[in-house]
Structure 1
Amino acid sequence: METLVQMLGPDVDWKQVLLIGMSPVFLIAFAIEWQVMRGRGKRAQFEWRDILANLSLGGSYQVFELGAHLLITGVATLWIYQHRLFDVPVNAWTVLPIFIGVEFCYYWFHRTSHRVRWFWSAHVVHHSSERMNFTTAMRQSLLYSITGWWLFFCPLIFLGVPPPVVFFLYAVDLCYQYFVHTESVGKLPRWIEYVFDTPSNHRVHHGRNAQYIDKNYGGVLILFDRWFGTYEEEQEKVEYGIATRQPHSANFLVLNFHEFADMWRDVFTRGPLAMRLKHLWAPPEWQRPNRSPDVEFRGAKERDALLS
């Protein structure tokens, strides 16, 4: 395993290497999913305008993350690793605990991405589709590295886990998540549903039904949701999309930047400085007291009409 650490060079974004390498597998899985659902007469979740938007968002995310790793992520995490507390060995005995640590960090990154608007401004892209199929997993934002997804994994690096190992295991986590974005699989045996993130558990996460909002943040495991009170079982049919500011557009720019632009518009709207800055860290649904919802949404509607 030490040889593996040496092979995972410090200057390579192993997260993106694995995700790009898995892309043909992802596309083949989608083709199989489409055929299966077509055979069942259930094609409502396959709309080609939406699928093409998913693919374009996924491809651009891949390219942008490679560049961001060279300029931001790789530089910052290597600096942190140089100041690490310990040297954590990577071997057959430690790889599973490290992976669970990565999953734990992912849980808090994902949860924060729903409850802090700064991080939501990137993650919202993933939730902007009103359909669910494998390509929905590819619906990713150009802003993730800018808003700082990697900050949540820095504790592992500071403890002494090599950054390439953290990123590679995070990519394994993300690869698994691709296969839970589907309606082709119903509920699995109860013990699997109890331990793992499954298609059923993850459909809940994408729901804007009142009881499903901000639930089931786990990537591979659903145990942290059960332990920290964010678990919800799939019961009624899931309505996909965003509870606030749903963009009805397949435009690449709108999907990537609609919430980021709205956030900064709110920050620069006249008012007390503390209230203006609160738009950065408050939950996405937070509005200033006595502010008209019409003011909140008018700019977004005009923007969508212009760019769609």
Structure 2
Amino acid sequence: MQSNRLFEIIYILLDKKKVTASELAEHFEVSRRTICRDIELLSSAGIPIYADMGRYGGISLLDNFVLDKSLISDSEQHEILASLKILEELKYPNAKESLSRLANLFQKTNDDWISVDFSHWGSHADEIDTFSVIKGCILQQVIIEFDYYNSFGQCSFQKIEPCKLWFKEKSWYLKGYSLRHEDFRIYKMVRIKNLKAGSQSFSKRDLSSEPAHIEMKHPFEPVKLKLLFASEAAYRVYDEFDMDQIQADGKGNLIVTAEYPLNDWIYGYILSFGKDVEVLEPDHVKRHILGIIKEIARKYKNAFSD
């Protein structure tokens, strides 16, 4: 613990140039005496650190000091830069400057090896900006406002305290405290429109008060599905289901067993595979799918009956 604190003290001094012992004590939540002992240890280890007394005094490093890279292994240096690169792609504040500074310090190239884009293919620029706006409002504790379309296509105006961005089941969601419902709610990102940061700030709520069941909260009962997919759909099956849900039948087909909430979405999802899927179980889902197919066939038959 102490070695980590000593290492971080050096980085703080490299970044801020000068700090007081009281500021360091508050940052690390230790006593001022402990910080003074840390400074003595760093000085005895050969780190050119010194303290100025008086009103404008403080702790600082010699201007020409360069951190001894031997304190960090080569693999650790790469891990630090990789983490900062991801933060830079996520537009995290000051990540770009930190990445550039440490890349120079470690004498490593800042390779452009990763790109993070939360939007889907063909999305508009305003959708790409949605994540940046929400992230900024979460960090700065600013209320956000937006129009939200539920699964029935109904639009409502929402005003929430954003808590976190959440990735679940191949989709992005926003968790937040709804001022309208006075409760924690989950919003699917693709259904959020006309997002903007509000003018009000908020105090972060105790997340332990968030209902434990909120992540599983759903008005539909789950159903265990057994689906048979033709080999032509294998590219989607392996993309959209976990490996432990997939079993080959020895004939080139794939059998998937998975549990989903039984609603209109799951019927639409099954039908999106067209002729390449067959519902094996349960029977009531098979009958419902057949009813949908008959209704679709009736509409197209009527279209050509004239």
Please state which structure has a larger fraction of its residues in strand. Answer: 2
TM-score over 0.5 for the pair = no
User: When the two structures are superposed, what TM-score results if normalisation uses the length of structure 2?
Assistant: 0.23
Which one has more relative contact order, counting CA pairs under 8 Å at least 6 apart? 1
User: When the two structures are superposed, what TM-score results if normalisation uses the length of structure 1?
Assistant: 0.22
Please state which structure has a larger fraction of its residues in helix. Answer: 1
